[in-house]
Amino acid sequence: MTERRRVYAGFLAATLLFFLFFFLTARTIGDAFPSTDTTLFDQKLAELFGSEDPYDVIFVGSSRVYRHVRPATFDSVLAAHDIPVHSYNLGSPGTNAFETPFQLRTILKRDREARIRWVFVALEGLEWNMEEMNLASDRVSRYFDWRTFLRAARLLGANETRADEDRLAALLDRVPPLFRNVTAYARGGNWLREQIEPGRSMAASSLARHEDGFLSLDTAYEYSEGAVREDLDERIETYTRNREKRAFRKGRGDTDSTDVSHQAPVLGDLVREIEEIVRGHGAEGVFFERNFNPGAPDLQAMKRAGRIRHLISLEDAVRYPALHDDRHRFDGGHFGAEGAEVLTRYLAEAFVPIARGNGGGS
């Protein structure tokens, strides 16, 4: 080996060692810091496994689980059918479908005595229009691994309702969270900022409690999402106006932005992973839906294809008229307290035949 080659080889070895040292150091230090972006979820998790009376039913999903499912009501309905359960609402605002497997692994890993028997899962839309602040959050980086990145790429590639440049830009936006996931880089920064300015990213501690699903929608919006409740009529008017615009564009022959047929391969892969996680723990999964988004995942097709064993759909306006009554709305995408109570009762009644081993669901 010539002197020049030895120099090049030494430089290459030193470079590789540096990046290996950087990766191991960042990963070790990053994983050691708690996440200030998952405070609500972490508090719920601690309460779930800190209870002397163990829980055997859990609910996971976004704000439509967090604000709509009332465990006390759910348990009482099942008790009236002589089916004793103790349920816990693990819903967390902003949870998307791609985050769900990570949450389930985190939860069930803590359930060392395998007390959880039923896992209710609500999946929101797969299309991502995430704000920059969310993409930059530590919460996203903790679950945005290679598998999630490839799913996002596959989904964006199949969505022909968006221009090529828009899809490429959206994909590039997802590279930084993938890098932070692989290296755990910069996680300590959020933790340090929280120590300097306490309360900067923490939700009100009372919001972590679950007994009634939520304590107050007003405080939930104000503290957890940084938005004060607007006038209900104005929210519903905006929701209705947007729905009418979509119908007009579809009638004019424009590309239907609510068509979700392209999601099927990614949704099937995601559902399969969720089922494997839950069944691998010795529990049973129950998918359920009452969506406000016309572009929501087609779980009915997954059920017909045999990829979902248990599905409870509350989408039928004839069968569940109260859930399609605007008077129960808090805004275009959430129910108020009365609507949440109604939804929980419907959900519990639909679960009775499933719990008894008679199939059920729809």
pLDDT of 302 reads 92
Q: b/e map of 305-335 (b: 16 or more CB within 10 Å)? A: eebbbbbbbbeeeeebebbeeeebbbbbbbb
Q: Is the pLDDT of residue 118 over 60?
A: yes
With 70 as the cut, is the pLDDT of residue 361 above it? no
pLDDT on residue 193: 54
pLDDT for the residue numbered 266: 93
Question: pLDDT class for 27, splitting at 50, 70, 90?
Answer: low
- CATH (residue range 33-355): 3.40.50.1110
Mean pLDDT of the region 307-314: 94
Average pLDDT over residues 31-57: 82
For the ranges 34-43, 93-102, 172-181, 314-323, which has the lowest average pLDDT? Answer: 34-43
Q: What is the mean pLDDT of the chain?
A: 78
Q: What is the per-residue pLDDT for 208?
A: 43
pLDDT at site 19: 67
Q: Which residue has the higher pLDDT, 357 or 107?
A: 107
| Contact by Cβ (8 Å): 55, 88 | yes
Considering 3-7, 23-27, 90-94, the range whose residues carry the highest mean pLDDT is 90-94
330/346 Cα distance (integer angstroms): 19
337 pLDDT exceeds 70? Answer: yes
Work out the burial of residue 152: count CB atoms within 10 Å of its CB; fewer than 13 is exposed, 13-18 middle, 19 or more buried. Answer: buried
Strand order from edge to edge, sheet including 118-121: 87-89, 57-60, 118-121, 284-289, 311-313
Q: For residue 22, what pLDDT is reported? A: 63
Domain boundaries along the sequence of the chain: 33-355
Q: What is the pTM of this model?
A: 0.79
